[in-house]
Chains A and B, each alone.
Chain A
Amino acid sequence: MRRLLAGRSRWTIVAGLATLFVALYPVLSDSTYYQDMIILSLIFAIGAVGLNVIAGYGGYVSLGQSAFVGLGAYTVGLLSLHHPDISPFVWVPLGGVVAGIAATLLGVIAMRTRGHAFVIITIAFLFLMQLVMLNWRSFTRGSSGISLPIPQWDVAYQNWPFYYALLAILAGAMLASWRIRRTKFGMGLIAMREDEDKAATVGVTTPAYKILGFVTSAVFPGMAGGVYAYYLSFIDPRGMFDIVISVQIILSMLLGGRGTLWGPVLGAFIIEPLNELANQQLGGGNSRLLIFGGLMTLVVLFLPRGIIPSAGVWLAARRRRGAEAPMGTRSDGAVPRGRLALRAPAPPGGGAPLLEVRGLSKRFGGVNAVDACSFEVQAGSITALIGPNGSGKTTAFNLIDGTMRADSGSVWLDGQRIDRMRPWRRAHLGIARTFQITRLFKEMTLLENVVAPLRSFSLARLNAVAISGPEAKRAEELLEFAGLREFRDEPAGALSYGQQKLVEFVQVLMLDPRLVLLDEPAGGINPTVIERMAQMIRELHGQGLTFLIVEHNMPFVLGLCDPVIVLARGGPICHGTPDHIQRDPKVLDAYLGEDFVLDEPVGVGS
């Protein structure tokens, strides 16, 4: 750990020195050639740090990043055209505002879509903006472009004002990126990148995250575009809304390392000199395409994680060589670690149903997976939902938590109808759910996994710091409860399956739920972990928490749950105490088939 810290602080020193060098460069040297190169690097860096918010954290890559630079440039250019006496710097923040508004509108369109549609929208947006700027001549002067005022300051200051304005914008962008990485908002964005459906079930309001992430990624590049326009003193649609600039911004982010704070900046300071090389030495045009097309092919195929994360992995592997690997330590899930106090203990169950399912149906093609299914879960109970494979248990879960929409029927939580709500709304109302095949956010650490869930949506809550302070403290209590606190900084993907089950269980507890749906909590894990799981359920039940459990492990179910609901062919056939259902002939039928007749003792013959 100390060596790791030493490594970290060494990097901090390197980054600090590099920053200091860039900050003082204009004072130390009067070479305008390198000053101009750094200015362009700063613009790429701002574009890439911005893009990193939606693409690096959120997982949605945009090919339209240069459109925001262009919008900022045109905002400042057009305003300067009509107010030649005012310094264009005054309009720079407005460039950010215009880019932010455009991103909001695009975000509203993209909000309902997944995966590929987003990148299509961003491509279309970039080209549409270029077309509008070209064709709307009365407003934008079309392909003739716009000239901006010539700077009036003393020649001795060279391009210092541009330089420091961009440095300030980059500092703002990095501060935002650093802050986001520490907040609930950032955790939700990364969770969305890892598994968007799962993120929705732990309360992450994905449309809002997408729009906010997209706006954040647009505002700083918009401002940089404003400064860029003044610096160039001439802008035209083809130069500004150039998709190759988008590519260079993406490359800066990918090459340096997406999802990291410094990666996009490092990448920008590599990509800009290459751009210079292509334009000055190799004649621009085709060589620029070949260099950046070729580099992007190589990065996507061979260095998809980028320099900083890859270097980090390599260094960690070097340091660890020979030493004991942390995952090699056996974690004994059977040892009960901490106890857990629920933050919002449920009132003692007064026998009222907490969850009511009425006439719920769901068809897949010709299969009635859930068929006019009705049952209730009493507050304060541990209710089991059992039944043979294909009887509709998991589908029922999916309909209750909102992963799927029912064809008909209704679901009520404490008297409130919830079956039309999106998954995150149901999570906010108190439904928590784990998955049959555990779905943790594999690249996030355990702590980050547990702080990612969102109990309710508000901007203040999104802005709350998650990786330290009260949220992190609660997450540590939960990890302690699961007996896995010492692994808080390990990626979830590195844990064993049983450990992942425990983590997913405590992860959803972060929602302070009223009803916990567990889908095969004991499935595929070893007996000590099963025992630990049962203890955890009992302890929380003792504090009034209600459970609905799907499980095939009968000793586990019969020892823990009361009542038990038996499902067959999409609907309940029997419910009652464990003793009762074990004696019900309908249950035997469902499991063994109607023709099955137990007419002689099995086992020893005569």
Chain B
Amino acid sequence: MTDFVQTLVLGLLIGGVYALLASGLTLIFGVMNIINVAQGAFLILAAFVTYSLWTATGIDPIAAIAITAPAMFAFGWLLYRFAVVRIRTASPAASVLLTFSIALLLEGVMGLVWGNTSHAVRPSYFNESFHVGELFLPKAQVYACLVAVGVLGALYAFLARTWTGRAIRSSAVNPEGAQLVGVDIAAVAALTFAIGVATTGAGGSLVSVLYPFLPGSHYVWISRLLGIIVLGGLGSLTGATVGALLIGVGESMVTTYIGPEWATAVPYGVIFVVLLVRPQGLFGARLREDVAV
């Protein structure tokens, strides 16, 4: 029983971090109808930047999100302005292929800069744990989860309470309607893309402490994030959060009870089952029908 609770708690802790990572992917999909498969590469890029900051200055990797998030925001904005904007109206295939090619380029660049070896960030508290009753909670995971929940909460508040946030949400629900009431949907798209990259970048700093990583790790990460948003429903932030917790717990359970080598199969299995049984996911809306002329 302790085993089970321990597994569950670890799953929830990592699920909190997944939720932050997946928020960017689902936000970008919601507003732009683009599956940005480069999110995994952005995440690993932020992890490498965190690694370099940490080795150069000794700055705490979790605190480094104060640097990586704005840097990734700028990177995302530039990428949108110079590349992604060109395929706004193209087919789904074009957007997936473009973002996938960006991921490959980034993987190659990271390999040249940092090498194709496994890296890890090891702050002083890396091997320490909090003990609650019979449970042990690794400090790094607790801190990472708390920060992730904090950033995600800020994102929710921004989307719910500010004019800009409402503009983003309205563009997601109905771009034409948003345009009619004065929302500059082109600017909103650029902003959303940059925010989506920034949140995933912040998550990358957290990941650098939790998992070893190398340039090629982005495939595993994007698969996991895709599993999360397919489960939650493409475009739904709430869905991404719930999906992230479920997948975190699922992976944790598989690691404990089946074997760690099968944990990465969880998101793939989830994708197949969800798309077969409930293609719109847990919280996804069915396609708006009244726009079909």
Chain A positions within 8 Å of B, measured between CB atoms, are 55, 59-61, 63, 108-110, 112-117, 119-121, 123-125, 127-128, 131-132, 134-135, 197, 243-244, 247, 250, 254, 285-290, 292-297, 300-301, 304, 364, 369, 394-395, 398, 403-404, 435-437, 439
Contact = CB atoms under 8 A, between A and B. Distances in A.
A403 B103 CA distance: 38
A289 B98 contact: no
Interface string B103-125: 11111110110001000000000
B226 A120 contact: yes
B93 interface: yes
B109 A290 contact: yes
B181 interface: no
Contact of B275 (A109, A115, A439): A109
Contacts of B102: 293, 297
A134 B111 CA distance: 24
A301 B87 contact: yes
B279 interface: yes
The secondary structure that dominates the B interface is helix
Interface stretch (B45-53, B70-78, B126-134, B264-272): B264-272
B114 to A, nearest CB: 11
B162 interface: no
Contacts of A304: 90, 94
Nearest to A405: B289
B98 A297 contact: yes
Which of B33, B86, B226 has the most chain A CB within a 10 Å cutoff?
Answer: B226
Contact of A294 (B105, B262, B275): B105
A107 to B, nearest CB: 11
Given A109-B275, A289-B111, A296 B223 contact: no
Contacts of A244: 104
Contacts of A300: 87, 94, 97-98, 101
A134 B220 CA distance: 14
Nearest to B278: A112
Interface string B204-233: 000000000000000110110011001000
B236 to A, nearest CB: 14
B100 A63 contact: yes
B279 A117 contact: yes
A10 B219 CA distance: 45
Contacts of A437: 293
Contacts of A254: 97
B12 interface: no
Contact of A364 (B226, B271, B289): B289
Contacts of A287: 108
A289 B107 contact: yes
B98 to A, nearest CB: 5
A293 B103 contact: yes
B244 interface: no
Nearest to A61: B93
Contacts of A131: 262, 264-265, 268
A524 B104 CA distance: 48
A115 B92 contact: yes
30 contacts: A61-B93, A61-B97, A109-B272, A116-B35, A116-B96, A117-B230, A117-B234, A117-B275, A120-B275, A121-B271, A124-B271, A128-B269, A131-B265, A247-B101, A250-B97, A285-B111, A286-B107, A286-B111, A290-B112, A293-B101, A293-B107, A294-B105, A296-B98, A297-B98, A297-B101, A297-B102, A297-B105, A301-B87, A404-B292, A437-B293
A127 B96 CA distance: 17
B268 A124 contact: yes
Which of B92, B102, B111, B234 has the most chain A CB within a 10 Å cutoff?
Answer: B92
Contacts of A63: 96, 100
A106 to B, nearest CB: 9
A295 B290 CA distance: 40
Contacts of B109: 286, 290
A293 B102 CA distance: 6
A395 to B, nearest CB: 8
B116 A286 contact: yes
B96 A61 contact: yes
B292 to A, nearest CB: 6
B226 A123 contact: yes
A300 B90 CA distance: 10
A590 to B, nearest CB: 22
B29 to A, nearest CB: 8
A66 B10 CA distance: 35
Contacts of B87: 300-301
Interface residues of B, number: 53
Contact of A369 (B90, B234, B290): B290
A65 to B, nearest CB: 13
Nearest to A403: B292
B175 to A, nearest CB: 16
Given A119-B92, A121-B275, A293-B106, 9 more contacts: A112-B279, A119-B93, A120-B35, A131-B268, A134-B261, A247-B101, A293-B103, A404-B289, A436-B293
Given A119-B35, A404-B289, A135 B262 contact: yes
A539 B271 CA distance: 53
B155 to A, nearest CB: 23
Contacts of B230: 117, 120
A55 B93 contact: yes
A403 B227 CA distance: 30
Contact of B268 (A128, A247, A290): A128
B2 interface: no
B108 A289 contact: yes
A292 B92 CA distance: 20
A142 to B, nearest CB: 10
B37 interface: yes
B268 A113 contact: no
Contacts of A288: 108
B57 interface: no
Contacts of A109: 272, 275-276
Contacts of B290: 364, 369, 395
Interface string B272-293: 1001100100000001011011
Contact of B92 (A116, A125, A369): A116
Which of A110, A135, A289, A290 has the most chain B CB within a 10 Å cutoff?
Answer: A289
B108 A286 contact: yes
Contacts of B107: 286, 289, 293
A409 B104 CA distance: 52
B176 to A, nearest CB: 15
A285 B29 CA distance: 31
Contacts of A247: 100-101, 104
B83 interface: yes
A369 B29 CA distance: 29
A377 B104 CA distance: 59
A294 B103 CA distance: 10
A206 B24 CA distance: 32
Nearest to A246: B100
Contacts of A113: 275, 279
A334 B12 CA distance: 71
Nearest to A302: B86
Contacts of A120: 35, 226, 230, 271, 275
Contacts of A61: 93, 96-97
Contacts of A121: 271-272, 275
B226 A124 contact: yes
The 9 A-B residue pairs with the shortest CB-CB distance, nearest first, are A293-B104, A289-B108, A296-B101, A293-B105, A61-B93, A286-B111, A290-B108, A128-B268, A115-B92
A108 B116 CA distance: 38
Interface in B20-79: 29, 33, 35, 37
Contact of B93 (A60, A128, A404): A60
B168 to A, nearest CB: 20
A479 to B, nearest CB: 25
